Structure 1
Amino acid sequence: MILINNENQTKPSLNLALEEYALLNLDLSQEHLLFYINEPAVIIGKHQNTHEEINHDYIQQNHIQVIRRVSGGGTVYHDHGNLNFSFLTQVKGKAFNDYRTFTQPIIQALVALDIPAELTGRNDIIVKDRKISGNAQYRRAERMFCHGTLLFNTDLNNVVAALNVKPDKIQSKGIKSIRSRVANISEFLIQPMTVAEFKQHLINTIFIDKPKKIHHFSDLDWQAIEKLAKEKYENWDWNYGKSPEFNFQNRSRFNIGEIDIRFNVKNSRVAAVKIYGDFFAQEDISGLETLLLNLPYEPNAFSEALATVNLHNYFGFLTVAEFLTLCFPNN
C-alpha cells in the first residue's frame, strides 16, 4: 500500500480534484491511501439536488463552501475536525459496494483505541449506536475508490444547521434528529489526542505489517490537479446544476437508498427527466436518464426499455418492478 501526500492542503475543491486525479493517473496495481482535511464545506452526493440538500441562508452567512463529489450517497459536512480517508484500488471481484473490506482497517485502528466501532447499514461506521463515519464509492472503468468521513471533533451544530435533512430520511432511520445519532470520535477516547495525532495513529496501525511508501505529486501533477479543481469542482454547473421545473415528481426510500425522480411530460412522452438520490451507482445515472427520454409515458414502454439495461449498475439491488412503482405510483 502507498500513502498519498496531499501536502496538507485543506481547500475542498483541490482535495476532491486530487482524489479524482489520483484515481485516473496513478498505478493502482498497488492500493493507495489518501487522507485529507477540508475547510468548512458541504459535500453533495453526485446524484443529489443541491438546492434541496442545503440550508442556503446558513451556508452563505457562515461562508461554507458547497461542492459536489463524484461518488453517490448522501450529503456530508466537512471541517477541520473531520478527517477524510480514501482507498484507491483496482476493481477486484465484487469490490464495488463492498464496504466491509475497505472500512475494516479503519475499524481496527479505532478498536485499538478501545473504541467499539462497527460497520452497520449500507455504509456507516457507528460507535454505541451513533454514527461517526459515512462512506461512499466511485468506479471508473476498472479503477475505484472507497472514501469516507471520520467525525473527530467536528462542530456538530454546523452539521445540523448546514444540512437540510428530509423528514422521511430521519424517520427511516428511527431517530428524532441528526444531533442525537451522530458523534465525534473524541467523545469516546480514553486519552485525549489531536486530529493530527489521530491521523498518525491510523497510518501507524494500517501500515504496521506493510512497507510504507509515500507518493508525492510532481509540479506538473499539481498544475493538472489545480486545473481540474477550477474547471470542475469550483464550477457552478457542476456543484449546483440547472434544475428545471418538472410536472411529475415522486420520491421513495428503498433498501439501496432514496430515489427522487422527476419528469416533464409533453404529448404523452418524456420531454425531460432527472433522477436524484443518495444511492450508489457504478454507471453514470445520465445513461438511464437518456434511455427514458422520449419514451411514451406509460409502464409498458418503460418496462421494455428497462429490459435492455442492468438496473443494478445504476442503483444496486433495485428491481425493475420497484423502479416502475416509483415512476407510476398509481398503477
Structure 2
Amino acid sequence: MSWRFSELPPQDGYHMVTSFVSVADYVSRGGKNTLMLFYSKEPFVNVGVHQEVWLEVDLDYTKSHNIPVVRRDLGGGTVVITPGEHDYFLVINQNEVPGEPSKLYSKYLSPIVDVLKDYGINATLRDQDIVVNGKKISGNGAMTYEKAVVITGNILLSLDVDLISKCIRVPSEKFRDKMAKDMRDWLTSLENELGYTPSREELNRKIKEKYESELGIKFESSQLTPEEIELWNKLAEEKRNEEWTYYRDNRHPDLRTERCVKISSSVALCHLDYKARKLLRITIKIVNKKLQEVSISGDFFIMSPNGFLDYLEDKLTGIDPNEISKKIDEVFTEKKPVIFGFTKEDLEIAFQKIIEKPEIQEVI
C-alpha cells in the first residue's frame, strides 16, 4: 500500500494546528493516506477544543510576551508547544483504522515507540502517551474529520520547563514552582535521556522506516497539493480569530468560577473538577430549581460526533437536576459518542457529586 510522506518547514502555531485538516479533506476525497513531519518555529500555547482558555492559560503572561494562544480542533489538555518538539501527523482513511481508540493508538504509535527504542530508550505506550521509565516523552491525540482519522503527536527533543510553567494558569506562584518541579519529574526529552539531541533529518528517516516496516506500507515523498496549501492557509487565518480561540469561554461567560456559591435563595453557581481517565470540569448554574446553564470542559477526546459537547450541554439546560442521569442516558443512546477519557457513568457520577454540594442542595 502506498502512502504520502511529506517533510515540511517549521510553521507558526496557527498552521501547526490546521495542517491535518486540509490533508484530511484531501484523504476524504480519495487521496492517499499521509504522514507529515515538521515542527513549530515559535512557542505557542495549544488549547484543547473542549477546554476553556481562562481556566487553563495565564493570559497575563502570554499577552505580555506575545505568545499566541491557539485553540486546536483536537481534544486533550493545554500544552505549550516550542521548537524543542518534533511533530508528526498521520491522516488515514477511516475505513482502514480500528474503531476502538486504544487499538488505534496501539497500531499507529507503536512505530514511534520503536524509533525511541532504537536509541536505547525504555519507551512504552501508556494510553495515548509514550513514556520513558514513567516520564512522558510524547503526547498524542486523535479525531475524525469527514472520512479521515487524524492522529497527531510529538517527540520532545528538549524541554523549556520555565517557559511552560509560566504559560499555564495556577492559583499561586508557590504552586507554579511546584508545577515546574512536577514537570521535571513527569516529563523527559531525548536530550535528557541521551545527553544530546538527534538531528531532525535522522529522526525523519527512522520514523519513515518504522512506519513502512510495521504497517507494511511504502512511502512516496510528496509535497502537499496546491489545493491543500490554499485550504491550509485559509484555515490558519481563521484560527487567528478570537471568536474561535475563546469559543468555549464565550459560550458560558456567566459561569466563570472555580467555587460553589449560593447567590440567593433560588440561585447557585458551582464548579467541580472530576478526575476520570481524563479531567472533567463541570460548572452549573441553578435557578428556580432548574439547570439554567451547564458547562462541560476538560482534556478528554471526543472522536465523534462533531458538536456532541454543545448538544449535550443544550439538552441538559432547563431540566430538573434529578433528571440529569436520565437525560445523559438519552443523549448517549441517541448520539453514540466515541469518547476517550471518560465514560457515560463517569459523567453521571461527576454531576451527582456537584448536585450534592451544600450550596446546590440549599436551592433545590
Q: TM-score range by the shorter chain?
A: 0.7 to 0.9
Per-residue deviation, residues 24-71 of structure 1 (Å, max 9, x unmatched): 222567532122211211111111111121222332233221111111
Tell whether 2:305 aligns with 1:302: no
Please state how far the C-alpha of 1:166 moved relative to its aligned partner. Answer: 8.1
Tell whether 2:272 aligns with 1:271: no
Please state how far the C-alpha of 1:8 moved relative to its aligned partner. Answer: 0.8
Alignment correspondent of 2:226: 219
Tell whether 2:52 aligns with 1:49: yes
Alignment correspondent of 1:238: 244
The secondary structure found in structure 2 opposite 1:249 is strand
Per-residue deviation, residues 137-187 of structure 1 (Å, max 9, x unmatched): 1123542111112111232322222223689xx9xxx99611221111122
Alignment correspondent of 1:186: 191
Q: How does 1:138-149 map to 2 (within 5 A)?
A: 138-149=143-154
Indicate how the Cα distance of structure 1 residues 264 and 13 shifts in structure 2: closer, same or farther if over 3 A, else same.
same
What is the rounded CA distance, in whole Å, between the counterparts of 1:165 and 1:70 in structure 2?
24
Give the TM-score normalised by structure 1: 0.86
Indicate how the Cα distance of structure 1 residues 319 and 118 shifts in structure 2: closer, same or farther if over 3 A, else same.
closer
RMSD value over aligned CA atoms? Answer: 2.8
Larger Rg: 2
Please point out which of 347, 350, 359 is paired with 1:323: 347
Where structure 2 has 5 or more consecutive residues not aligned to the other structure, the ranges are 256-268, 357-364
The secondary structure found in structure 2 opposite 1:216 is coil
Higher helix share: 2
Please state how far the C-alpha of 1:23 moved relative to its aligned partner. Answer: 1.2
**Contact kept in structure 1, 2:315 and 2:327, CA below 8 Å:** yes
Amino acid at match of 1:100: S
What is the rounded CA distance, in whole Å, between the counterparts of 1:240 and 1:291 in structure 2?
22
Indicate how the Cα distance of structure 1 residues 192 and 135 shifts in structure 2: closer, same or farther if over 3 A, else same.
closer
Please state how far the C-alpha of 1:94 moved relative to its aligned partner. Answer: 2.3
The secondary structure found in structure 2 opposite 1:310 is helix
**Contact kept in structure 1, 2:53 and 2:246, CA below 8 Å:** yes
Tell whether 2:156 aligns with 1:151: yes
Please point out which of 201, 217, 229 is paired with 2:236: 229
Q: How does 1:93-242 map to 2 (within 5 A)?
A: 93-97=98-102, 98-120=104-126, 122-164=127-169, 177-189=182-194, 192-207=197-212, 210-231=217-238, 233-241=239-247, 242=250
What is the rounded CA distance, in whole Å, between the counterparts of 2:223 and 2:33 in structure 1?
15
**Contact kept in structure 2, 1:29 and 1:89, CA below 8 Å:** no
Q: How does 1:246-261 map to 2 (within 5 A)?
A: 246=255, 247-255=269-277, 257-261=278-282
Q: How does 1:29-108 map to 2 (within 5 A)?
A: 30-38=32-40, 39-91=42-94, 92-97=97-102, 98-108=104-114
Amino acid at match of 1:16: V
What is the rounded CA distance, in whole Å, between the counterparts of 1:318 and 1:219 in structure 2?
39
When structure 1 is superposed on structure 2, of 37-46 and 241-250 the one drifting more is 241-250
Alignment correspondent of 1:20: 21
What is the rounded CA distance, in whole Å, between the counterparts of 1:322 and 1:278 in structure 2?
14
What is the rounded CA distance, in whole Å, between the counterparts of 1:225 and 1:45 in structure 2?
19
Identical pairs, percent: 20
**Contact kept in structure 2, 1:106 and 1:202, CA below 8 Å:** yes
Per-residue deviation, residues 53-99 of structure 1 (Å, max 9, x unmatched): 12223322332211111111111121111011122113334243432
Amino acid at match of 2:9: N
Amino acid at match of 1:41: F
| Aligned residues between the structures | 321
The secondary structure found in structure 2 opposite 1:158 is helix
Indicate how the Cα distance of structure 1 residues 275 and 18 shifts in structure 2: closer, same or farther if over 3 A, else same.
same
Amino acid at match of 1:238: W
Give the TM-score normalised by structure 2: 0.79
What is the rounded CA distance, in whole Å, between the counterparts of 1:6 and 1:238 in structure 2?
28
